[in-house]
A and B are shown apart, each in its own frame.
Chain A
Amino acid sequence: MVEGILVNGLIRGGVYALLAVGFSLIFGVARMINLAHTCFYMLSAYGIYTFADLMGLNPVLAIIISLIATTIIGLLTYKMFIDRIREHHVTVLLITLALAMVFQECMILGFGSHYLGAPSFIPGYAEILGVKVSYQHLLIFGVVLVVLLCVWALLSKTRLGIAIRATAQDPEVAGLMGINVSRILLVTMGIAAALAAVAGIVVAPTLVLEPHMWTHPLIMIMAIVVLGGLGSVKGSFIAAFIIGFVEVLVVFLLPAGAFLKGAIALLVMVIVLLVRPEGLFGIAFEEERL
């Protein structure tokens, strides 16, 4: 059982980490809470189902198409809807919520609201520590690690990463230093959407696909991002594993755990915030007025 908890917790935490890092990135740079973030995860999962299952394309081709398509949808939504009203924070929040509902309804119209399943990329399983782990789960974990390392390298080593971090610290000063702030915002939105798309693509075969699948991860990644400290990528990464493990522990150990897993994970977040109001790795900007 301990091995089961360990393996499942690592995988769930990894998926949450992918989603939360993107969410945290776009919050840190554009100061917007993007409630449509997990919709990109849903869209790419449905993309895999459409291209690999319905159209019978090669899995690699299906992965590439749905990754690119989701990223383009993310960029378009930003350009068309969010960019124009960026100054009104609450309105941005509401628009992203309405867009999430639009995506959800489009999925219901396109695929119906029943449960669907996508095929596994590589069937079969390996035995690690006596637990049967399917190759798909290993693939998820590998992809998560590689992608997160790439994000870390991008943010800390490249010129683009420095520009993104500068914009996150202070958009006005970044603009004065010759950084094209609105283009950086667009690029960040693209990266965030692509991260969500990768998460959706790798987990698609292990999940049931349904049009409401964006809500539970959304709540969880919001809890994770707050727990780790808003805008802190490292914090989101660690908090994702904390919340992932809490969820898996509750499901494994408590009766009626499936109902309580979300509740207890959120309770952990509330308790941590009571002790440390700025999250685990957040910095308390006393003078910052959001």
Chain B
Amino acid sequence: MIRRLIKDFQGDVLAIPGRLIALVFLLILLLIPPITREPYILRTLIFTNIFVIFAVSWDLLSGYTGQINFGHALFFGIAAYTSALLNTHLGWQPWLTIPIGALAGVVAGVVVCLPALRLRGPYLSLVTLAFPLILLGVIFAFSDFTGGELGISGLDRISNSRTVDYYISLLVMVVSVLIMWKLTDARSSLVRTGVIFHAIREDEIAARASGINTVRYKLLAFIVAGFFAGIAGALNAHFMRIAGPSNLDLFLSFQAVIWTVFGGIASIYGPVAGVYILYPVMEFLRIFPEHRILIFAGIVVLILLFMPEGVAVWIRDKLERECPRCKLSNIAFRRTCRACSTSLY
């Protein structure tokens, strides 16, 4: 049993450079608090973890299922406001408000899905764009209840120590990303959703003709994305201790797009890499407050001009080569496939 696990580990993780890099990266993340307790670094990484969940949930909905959503901040913001209201008005604890916030994200996902099921392509994108802006208008109009411009502040902390906060965010991030990776894995024999999501994106009519109830799976994609984006939003509200209009902002919706497309769309590691590169860069650029967004946008433009598929996908294509016969990933310098020894050239 143990020997088999080790063998699987060697075959499925060590032999594929992408997964090896992911493993090493995770180990480094686990070791960060013992190395440095600098609150600024930990704080940046906590928010990076939260936005990883957010970006990956956008990738699941828009990259895999092809429902390009321009209003992803809706799920984030609704969850943030729900947990903030429950926490400040009713005094409920974070371990209760965060799941309820995530459920509010699910409800938002279903509500958005109802019109979205009838629309396709750019129509869908622009209608989803409208929802957070409509809600934002309502929030400003009823500012006594929602705090208006200032938002709701003074939420409970999740824990009193920043190290514990860091490990909680890391744990939630890793578990969420693994679940979403499994759900979108087209080669998995356990769940069929991955291959169905791909089919819906590539050709919805053909998917329907093959007997797939596309409505049900699109609804599922919206629910899953809403749930995880909701978790991210509720966590963010509790770590920031404030839920404000910026959680529903157009810019936040677009940031999910920026991170994901920068890393590589329709690949779970793409948004992970995108957030881990761009969010710390954005924080680092606070040294040049005046040129911060300019440099950030410049980096995004230049990199996308040369790697239009995204950074992580570009690196993966340099490191790995797929066997033409058995579709197994191989490290780039091998001349023959490690399983079926077909020539890779």
Contact = CB atoms under 8 A, between A and B. Distances in A.
B308 A88 contact: yes
Size category, B interface? 35 or more
22 contacts: A81-B305, A90-B261, A91-B309, A93-B257, A97-B257, A97-B258, A98-B258, A98-B304, A99-B301, A102-B294, A102-B301, A105-B297, A226-B123, A230-B123, A256-B140, A259-B141, A262-B137, A263-B134, A263-B136, A270-B115, A273-B115, A274-B118
B127 A273 contact: yes
A147 interface: no
Contact of A85 (B122, B140, B291, B308): B308
Contact of B133 (A84, A90, A98, A266): A266
* Chain B interface, DSSP helix/strand/loop, else mixed: helix
B123 A267 contact: no
Contacts of B171: none
Nearest to A101: B297
A106 interface: yes
A278 interface: yes
A259 B140 contact: yes
Q: Which 9 interchain pairs have the tightest Cβ spacing? A: A263-B137, A105-B294, A266-B130, A290-B121, A101-B297, A259-B140, A98-B297, A263-B134, A256-B141
A215 B203 CA distance: 33
B122 A219 contact: no
Interface string B221-257: 0000000000000000000000000000010001001
B73 to A, nearest CB: 14
Among B261, B293, B297, the most chain A Cβ lie within 10 Å of the Cβ of: B297
Contacts of A190: none
A278 B123 CA distance: 8
A2 interface: no
A262 B257 contact: no
Nearest to A219: B133
Given A91-B261, A267-B134, A269-B127, 7 more contacts: A98-B298, A105-B293, A262-B133, A263-B138, A270-B131, A270-B134, A273-B118
A91 B141 CA distance: 36
B137 A260 contact: yes
Nearest to A222: B126
A287 B121 CA distance: 12
B37 to A, nearest CB: 35
A109 interface: yes
Contact of A101 (B127, B135, B293, B304): B293
B250 A98 contact: no
A219 B253 CA distance: 13
Given A81-B305, A95-B301, A290 B122 contact: yes
Interface of A: 27, 33, 81, 84-85, 87-88, 90-91, 93-95, 97-99, 101-102, 104-106, 108-109, 215, 219, 222-223, 225-226, 230, 256, 259-264, 266-267, 269-270, 273-274, 277-279, 286-287, 289-290
A258 B224 CA distance: 35
B300 interface: yes
Given A91-B308, A94-B304, A102-B301, A277 B119 contact: yes
Contact of B291 (A97, A109, A262): A109
Contacts of B137: 259-264
Contacts of B309: 88, 91
Contact of B119 (A90, A102, A260, A273): A273
A98 B299 CA distance: 9
Contacts of A264: 137
Contacts of B119: 273, 277
A84 to B, nearest CB: 6
A202 B125 CA distance: 30
Contacts of A87: 308
Contact of A277 (B123, B125, B126): B123
A148 to B, nearest CB: 22
B290 interface: yes
A256 B146 CA distance: 15
Interface in B258-283: 258, 261-262, 265
A279 B203 CA distance: 22
Contacts of B254: 97
A33 B68 CA distance: 12
Nearest to B265: A90
B294 A109 contact: yes
B293 A270 contact: no
Among B118, B135, B308, the most chain A Cβ lie within 10 Å of the Cβ of: B308
B199 interface: no
A91 B290 contact: no
A102 B122 contact: no
A286 B135 CA distance: 32
A274 B115 contact: yes
Given A226-B127, A266-B134, A27 B304 contact: no
Contacts of B138: 260, 263
A223 B203 contact: no
A219 B118 contact: no
Given A33-B122, A277-B118, A277-B119, A105 B291 contact: yes
B55 interface: no
B129 interface: yes
Contacts of A88: 308-309
Interface string B91-120: 000000000000000000000000100111
Contacts of B203: 289
